[in-house]
Amino acid sequence: PAHCIAGFPRLPASIMSAVSTLQLSSGTSMPVLGYGTWLTAAAEVAQGVKWAVESGYRLLDCAERYGNQKQIGEALSDLWKAGYKREDVFITSKLWNTRHDCPEESVRQTLQNLQLEYLDLYLIHFPEAFPRGASEEDMAAGKLEYAAITLKETWSKMETLVDKGLVKAIGISNFTVSEIQEILSSCRIKPAVNQIEVHPYNTSVPLVEFCESNGIATTAYSPLANQYFLSEIDPNNSRRPNTKDMTPLLQHPTVLEISSAHKKTAAQVLIRYAIDRGMSVIPKSVRLERIRENFNVFDFKLTKAEISELNAMDVKFKLVNPGWRKWPQQQ
């Protein structure tokens, strides 16, 4: 078929059929493995998305803040023309901090950029509300006050997006227990998902358990904790003085021992770590061989003992730790 990758046959049906889903409180199903588009240059993201869908991914994670949704929309248009069906691909996007007062305006712009009629899931990217036009740099430097709109007010506006059929489910991202409780105290529609950073250096066990107990699914981002991201996010290592001596997860002896036992790569073990804890997970890459490697995780499972070993590596290290983020003490 025209939409197969030249030189790369489709994955075996046994692997494709094993791609499991999470049942969301909204009534929809979300694939457990997706393709992330954060920090992917606009010039590279279209090809990455095409390769991902052609390789079997059926969950795509996007966001207004990533600045590449128009290019993703062009890729999606090409994929639909090639015979892939919109209803078979679960597409997530996120409301940026400067838009907490206008989720409908924001989601309509996102739908236009992605060339879609609806989103499967729309998340509040962070709990903090910025004034219109505010930059992350200015907020981190304390040059501007946070916007006055409350989480409850923003969530109420998010709920209307479901009513209008613009999105099938709504959720949150980077929220802690206390912030989730604020929404749960008055919501009409419960958050379907909380998307957070999860890997063995930041296991987030209490937060994941809290979400699970309240019927909220967890999506894990940055599952490989690739520390080269630090050079882009925090070039001076100013907020993470303890990370210079940390062993990258992909080279950690515990991870390598488990990968050897399963005859899998370290990356595949770290992706499976999230899946076997009951989450969905969204690794990212722009290299075809890595995209395919990251997807090939449905022919093995980690044991409870192996998950415990990886959990024991927790040092509460966050790659994503912006200077403007007001983390509550209880996370």
Question: What is the DSSP track for 133-168?
Answer: T--HHHHHTT-SPPPS--HHHHHHHHHHHHHTTSBS
Check: CB of residue 170 under 8 Å from CB of residue 121: yes
- What are the backbone dihedrals phi and psi of residue 90, each rounded to the nearest 5 degrees, phi first? -90, 120
As to burial, measured by CB atoms within 10 angstroms (0-12 exposed, 13-18 middle, 19+ buried), residue 31 is buried
Catalytic positions, please?
66
Question: What is the DSSP track for 200-256?
Answer: TTB--HHHHHHHHHTT-EEEEESTT--TTHHHHH-TT-TT-TT-TTPPPGGG-HHHH
Check: CB of residue 88 under 8 Å from CB of residue 286: no
Position 110, amino acid: T
User: What value, to the nearest 5°, has the Cα angle with vertex 36 and ends 251 and 118?
Assistant: 165
Bridge partners of residue 252, in order along the sequence: none
Closest CA to 124 of 102, 101, 94: 94
